[in-house]
Amino acid sequence: MKKLTKLASLALALPLTIALAACSGSSTPSAQPGGSASGGTTGSGKLTAWAWDPAFNIFALNEAAKVYQQDHPDFEIEVVETPWDDLQTKLTTLAQSGQTDELPDIFLMQNNAFQKNVINYPDLFTDYSASPVDFSQFPQGVVDYSVVDGVNYGLPFDNGTAITALRTDVLEKAGYTVDDFTDITWSDFLAKGKDVLAKTGQPLLSGQAGSSDLIMMMLQSAGASLFDAEGKPTITNNEALMKSIDVYAQLVKAGVLTEVNSWDEYIGTLVNSSVAGTINGVWILGSIQTAEDQSGKWQITNLPKLDGLSGATNYSANGGSSWAISSNANAELAADFLNSTFAGSTDFYDTILPSSGAIANWSPAGKSPVYSEPQEFFGGQAVFAQVLEYAPNVPSNNTGAYYYEGRDAVSAAITKILNGTDPATALDEAQKTVEFAMQ
């Protein structure tokens, strides 16, 4: 999830720059709280939007506006740069004060936070039930992040599909290729990782101590969650979670995964060749590409899957975001704008891919030849097309309203387990922590 604050964007490795932003509301409200966005031929008027990252999300909004203006020359969009933490604070404050008239027309939402916000603050959102958006053209696992009670509240944007990125030159020294790490299990990965470490002295992975990102990717790859369908925590007696933590502990103990103290140190291990790979959301490739001396020495593949677990796959996700239409929106215009661009224009995605690395979740965009172009940095591999092949295979992830509380509790449990605490005991404490927070 650190893409939002730390990472460079993909393709040209543009650095993310987050700044403070002011609050702005729509001047043309037409939807009531809990209403539905309806499509239409309207194209005149002005929309306001909240989003973070000028080089990625805001750039995409402005380019989408240019595409929409080709058929709707009177259309305008005002984008207010709003870092994610500030955006979440604004939403909470406006919901609790009832000042929904200060909401913009559309705003960006982290996928893992979407259900929490809709469940806790339903009066902030307009659903997409009457919009022209065809959600079947997006991976179901991504769509489900913003579905509550069978209703769509978000339009998927950037792709958070997880990948394994590996240094081909290091693998070659140990007698391997990326193909040897494709469609494998975690036991295979561990065995080969030990061999690479013994022959080259380089671990295959690194990660920030106290972070559960890799655990969460393992969990989702098996279609599992920290919560059941009713939103109750399932941290104890969770077979997929126990297997994921066991794998993580084995990786650390064997030295195949080296833990560092900060996100900056994690990125440093990639660019200074301390490790020979990483597993993360596809956006991590932007940071990898800042190491220009490593051009041609990286390739990507899918993830290892958990051994002996029903429903386990080689696919997962970490990060990504979706567009919400507020209850204060000119809902007809907002729905038409989003449907005509983020859910309807290959020209739009062709424009933003080379400049920002914004890989589409909208499947028709992947048919463009732009996505199939070989990337020199990745040894001529067509990484964009590869990611689009992975995306539809990512299992859905039931986040619920307390996803972050659950993730934080599991992160604390992992630290205790690595320090010798019995796993069942640590996870029981995590379960109780989340249950207390839910009270």
pLDDT of residue 28: 33
Calculate mean pLDDT across residues 83-112: 96
Do the Cβ atoms of 309 and 223 come closer than 8 Å? Answer: no
Those residues with Cβ within 8 angstroms of residue 222's Cβ, 6 or more apart along the chain or in another chain = 240, 243, 244, 305, 306, 309, 311, 312, 313, 395
Calculate mean pLDDT across residues 161-187: 98
Q: 348-362, pLDDT tens digit by residue?
A: 999 988 777 788 899
Is 108 in the same domain as 199?
Answer: no
Is 130 in the same domain as 19?
Answer: yes
> Would you state the structure tokens that stand for residue 74, as one six-digit string?
């009177």
Is 227 in the same domain as 330?
Answer: no
Q: Which residue has the higher pLDDT, 5 or 72?
A: 72
Among 185-189, 201-205, 319-323, the least confident range: 319-323
The answer on pLDDT for 116 being more than 50 is: yes
Q: Give the bridge partners for 326, in sequence order.
A: 125
pLDDT of residue 367: 87
Q: Is residue 155 part of a domain?
A: yes
pLDDT of residue 42: 61
Specify the amino acid at residue 353: L
Is 202 in the same domain as 179?
Answer: yes
Rounded CA gap, 82 and 140, in Å?
28
Q: What count of residues does the chain have?
A: 439
Confidence of residue 37 (pLDDT cuts 50, 70, 90): low
Domain of 302: which CATH number?
Answer: 3.40.190.10
Q: Is residue 382 part of a domain?
A: no
Is 216 in the same domain as 270?
Answer: yes
Those residues with Cβ within 8 angstroms of residue 221's Cβ, 6 or more apart along the chain or in another chain = 162, 303, 305, 306, 312, 313, 314, 315, 316, 395
Is 295 in the same domain as 356?
Answer: no
Q: Is residue 352 part of a domain?
A: yes
Rounded CA gap, 269 and 207, in Å?
9
> Would you state the structure tokens that stand for residue 297, as one six-digit string?
């020495």
Q: Give the bridge partners for 279, in sequence order.
A: 164
The answer on pLDDT for 180 being more than 60 is: yes
The answer on pLDDT for 15 being more than 90 is: no
Rounded CA gap, 156 and 395, in Å?
15
- pLDDT > 70: what percent of the chain? 90
- pLDDT > 90: what percent of the chain? 77
Q: Is residue 179 part of a domain?
A: yes
Is 47 in the same domain as 135?
Answer: yes
Specify the amino acid at residue 41: T
Specify the amino acid at residue 372: S
Is 175 in the same domain as 198?
Answer: yes
Is 289 in the same domain as 429?
Answer: yes
Q: Is residue 375 part of a domain?
A: no
Secondary structure in 3-state letters for the chain: CHHHCCCECCCCCCECCCCCCCCCCCCCCCCCCCCECCCCCCCCEEEEEEECCHHHHHHHHHHHHHHHHCCCCCEEEEEEECCHHHHHHHHHHHHHHCCHHHCCCEEEEEHHHHHHHHHHCHHHEEECCCCCCCHHHCCHHHHHHHEECCEECCEECECCEEEEEEEHHHHHHCCCCHHHHCCCEHHHHHHHHHHHHHHHCCCCEEEECCCCHHHHHHHHHCCCCCECCCCCECCCCCHHHHHHHHHHHHHHHHCCEEEECCHHHHHHHHHCCCCCEEEEECCHHHHHCCCHHHCCCEEEECCCECCCCCCCCCCCECCCEEEEEECCCCHHHHHHHHHHCCCCCHHHHHHHHHHHCCCECCHHHHHCHHHHCCEHHHCCECHHHHHHHHHHHCCCCCCCCCHHHHHHHHHHHHHHHHCCCCHHHHHHHHHHHHHHHHC
Structural domain tally of the chain? 2
Is 193 in the same domain as 282?
Answer: yes
Q: Is residue 376 part of a domain?
A: no
Is 120 in the same domain as 231?
Answer: no
Q: Is residue 374 part of a domain?
A: no
The answer on pLDDT for 41 being more than 50 is: no
pLDDT of residue 22: 27
The answer on pLDDT for 77 being more than 90 is: yes
Q: What angle do CA 128, 231, 99 make, to 5 degrees?
A: 50
Q: 359-394, pLDDT tens digit by residue?
A: 889 999 988 899 899 999 999 999 999 998 999 999
Calculate mean pLDDT across residues 190-217: 96
pLDDT of residue 428: 96
Handedness of CA 71, 79, 30, 343 (dihedral sign): positive
Is 192 in the same domain as 115?
Answer: no
Of 136, 157, 162, the closest CA to residue 313 belongs to: 162
The answer on pLDDT for 25 being more than 70 is: no
Calculate mean pLDDT across residues 321-335: 97
Confidence of residue 40 (pLDDT cuts 50, 70, 90): very low
Whole domain around residue 419: which residue ranges? 162-316+396-438
Q: 134-148, pLDDT tens digit by residue?
A: 999 999 989 999 999
Record the pTM: 0.81
Residue with tokens 């956006």: 283
Q: Is residue 343 part of a domain?
A: yes
The answer on pLDDT for 182 being more than 50 is: yes
Number of C-beta neighbours around residue 387 at 10 A: 23
Confidence of residue 27 (pLDDT cuts 50, 70, 90): very low
